Amino acid sequence: MFFSKDYKEIANEIFKNVGGKENIVSLDNCSTRVRVEVKNIDKVDIKSIVKAGAKEVLISGEDYLQIVVGPTMVAPVTDAIKVLYYED
């Protein structure tokens, strides 16, 4: 579960396992999901994202991920990923 980990730790795991800054095209969220468009889906490690605590990872089309984290964690996790993106 996500509640056993700090949201910054979760964000770091997601950031790393979607391929980092060089693989992220866009990033946003809805009420329960972190939405990430990537350049190369082959660089994404879905098993590691789930192991980090995601409830589910859905792939839409060829390059769009929806990482289900739940309503209480989605905003802080997404914001922390954005910080990692801009400081990387």
Whole-prediction pTM value?
0.91
Residue-range definition of the domain harbouring residue 9: 2-87
Residue 77 is predicted with a pLDDT of 96
Q: In whole angstroms, how far apart are CA 21 and each of 31, 57, 72, 73, 85?
A: 23, 19, 25, 21, 6
If one counts every other C-beta atom within 10 angstroms of the C-beta of residue 88, the result is 10
Task: Quote the CA–CA distance of 60 and 13 in Å, as a whole number.
Answer: 21
pLDDT in tens, 12-43: 999 999 999 999 999 999 999 999 999 999 99
Q: In whole angstroms, how far apart are CA 85 and each of 3, 41, 56, 61?
A: 23, 18, 22, 23
Catalytic residue among 22, 25, 30, 58: 30
pLDDT in tens, 38-83: 999 999 999 999 999 899 999 999 999 999 999 999 999 999 999 9
List residues bridging with 56 in a β-sheet: 68
pLDDT band at 2 (very low <50, low <70, confident <90, very high): very low
Task: Quote the CA–CA distance of 81 and 18 in Å, as a whole number.
Answer: 11
CATH number at residue 73: 3.30.1360.60
Concerning whether 83 is annotated as a catalytic residue, the answer is no
